[in-house]
Every structure is written in C-alpha cells, then in structure tokens.
C-alpha cells in the first residue's frame, strides 16, 4: 500500500517553543492532506484539511494562528504548533488522500510539551 | 450527539469466540464507511470498507444498514492478535473528511 511518513516520530519541547511536524506522501501525489489529533483514550479528531497551493481549512474550535499548516508541494504538508503549551501534548497524525480517494495515514508524531 | 458513536468497551473475549461491534452515525449524508484498526500508540490502519451489500474478508464481516444508520463488524474465531481498538469511520458526501468514532477496545484472552 501507499506510504505516508511523518517526522519527527516524537518530540519533547519546552513550553512556549514552536514545533514543526512534516507529513510526506512517498509514492503518490496528494492534493489534500489531513491533520488529526488524538488525546489518550480518545478518538482521532480532525483539526484541518490541508490543500496544496491554498489555505488550509480548519475545523471548528481549532485555532488557525496556533496550528499553522503549509502544503507547499504535492507530497509535503507541515503542521507547526506555535507557542506550544502542555495542553497541546498529544498524538498528531496526518493522512494523505491518494488519487484513488483512499486515505493513508502517517505513523503519527507524539508531542510532549513540558 | 456525536456524529459517530461506538461502545468504547473493552470487550474481553476468549480465543476462538465470535464478537460483534456496532457503530451508529447521525449524518444521513454519510456516503462511505470503513472499519479501521488501531494498535496502541500506532496510526489507524484500514481493516475494510463497508459496502451496502455487506462484505466479508476472511474472519471479518462488515454490514451497513442505511435505514437505521448503523454499521457493524463481526469477527469470527478471534485470535490474540485481534486485540486492538476498532474505529468506525464515516465519510460525508461531497467532502473528503473522515469522521472517526471513539473506537471499541477488544481484548482477546488466551
């Protein structure tokens, strides 16, 4: 199956710093990627839809100025958590929509903010 | 009301048992349905798509009831390796967004 990678796989940072997470589709072009967040024992919550070459679409309640999304190419979307705080600690997962419309998930990035 | 609802479990079953999970969805514009499996601290992986006519893949059978707005997953002859969280996922017509249920935890016991 198609492969989607994320980097880094885990990160620990101090409160107030910014963290960038990369999501890459390795063997297909993805005009649309999605960013999810999953807190312990909860489901994946869609944060935003990342569209190549245009602005991301954020879900209700997600601060676009805090979670900056850039989808500069057909194989790369980045999520930057700005001024991270402990409550932002979570498992961040991206998915990429393949030309077949199937979505493939990245392995996730575990963020811990101290 | 949540868009996609599942019983969180856990369902503890012995090896070899048959277990069934249900999932209800509230948006009548839902058009595609999936079951994903998620292991602890891992990303979700597609288990199977759910078609109107129902579909089967080995020990796994999925059913869709549009009138009642629910989907089901049946696992026969449970294996220890089936222990995981099973996520019900719905796609809304006209969007590419996936809406996830909270997941149902399954533990298959030796």
> Percent of chain A having pLDDT more than 90?
75
Residue A73 neighbours by CB under 8 Å, 6+ apart = A52
The confidence score (pLDDT) of residue A1 equals: 61
Taking the C-alpha atoms of residue A53 and residue A106, their distance in angstroms, rounded to an integer, is 21
Over range A72-77, report the average pLDDT.
90
- For residue A2, the model assigns a pLDDT of 67
DSSP A48-73: EEEETTS--EEPTT--TTTEEEEEEE
Share of chain A above pLDDT 70, in %: 98
- The answer on pLDDT for A21 being more than 80 is yes
Give the pLDDT confidence score for residue A51 in this predicted structure: 87
Does B1 lie at the interface with A, CB-CB under 8 angstroms? no
Mean pLDDT for the stretch of residues A13-34: 94
pLDDT for A52 equals 86
> Which residue of B lies nearest to A97 if distances are taken between CA atoms?
B96
Identify whether the C-beta of residue B21 lies closer than 8 Å to the C-beta of residue B6.
Answer: yes
Between B43, B100, B102, which is nearest A107 by CB? Answer: B43
* CA distance to partner chain B, nearest, from residue A48 (Å): 9
B98 has a chain A CB within 8 A of its CB: yes
A43 confidence band (pLDDT: 50, 70, 90) = confident
Nearest CB among B43, B96, B100 relative to A32 is that of B96
pLDDT at position A100 is: 80
Query: Highest mean pLDDT range out of A6-10, A42-46, B51-55?
Result: A6-10
Grouped pLDDT means (10 residues each) for chain B, 110 residues: 88 97 90 92 90 91 93 97 96 85 95
Task: Give tens-digit pLDDT for A92-107.
Answer: 999 999 888 888 999 9
């Amino acid at each position: 199956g198609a492969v989607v990678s994320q980097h880094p796989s885990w990160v620990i940072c101090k409160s107030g710093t910014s963290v960038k997470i990369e999501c890459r589709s390795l063997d297909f072009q993805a005009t649309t990627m999605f960013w999810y967040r999953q807190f312990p024992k909860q489901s994946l919550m869609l944060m935003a839809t990342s569209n190549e070459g245009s602005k991301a679409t954020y879900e209700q309640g997600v601060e676009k100025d805090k979670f900056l999304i850039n989808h500069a190419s057909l194989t790369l979307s980045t999520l930057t958590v700005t001024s991270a705080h402990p409550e932002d600690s979570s498992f961040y997962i991206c998915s990429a929509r393949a030309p077949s419309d199937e979505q493939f998930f990245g392995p996730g990035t575990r963020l811990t903010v101290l | 009301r949540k868009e996609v609802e599942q019983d969180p479990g856990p369902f503890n079953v012995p090896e070899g048992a048959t277990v069934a999970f249900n999932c209800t969805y509230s948006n009548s514009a839902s058009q595609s349905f999936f079951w994903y499996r998620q292991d602890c601290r891992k990303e979700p992986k597609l288990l199977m798509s759910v078609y109107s006519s129902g579909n089967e893949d080995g020990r796994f059978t999925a059913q869709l009831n549009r009138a009642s707005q629910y989907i089901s997953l049946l696992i026969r002859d449970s294996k220890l390796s089936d222990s995981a969280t099973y996520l019900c996922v719905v796609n809304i017509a006209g969007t590419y967004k996936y809406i996830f249920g909270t997941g149902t935890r399954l533990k298959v016991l030796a």
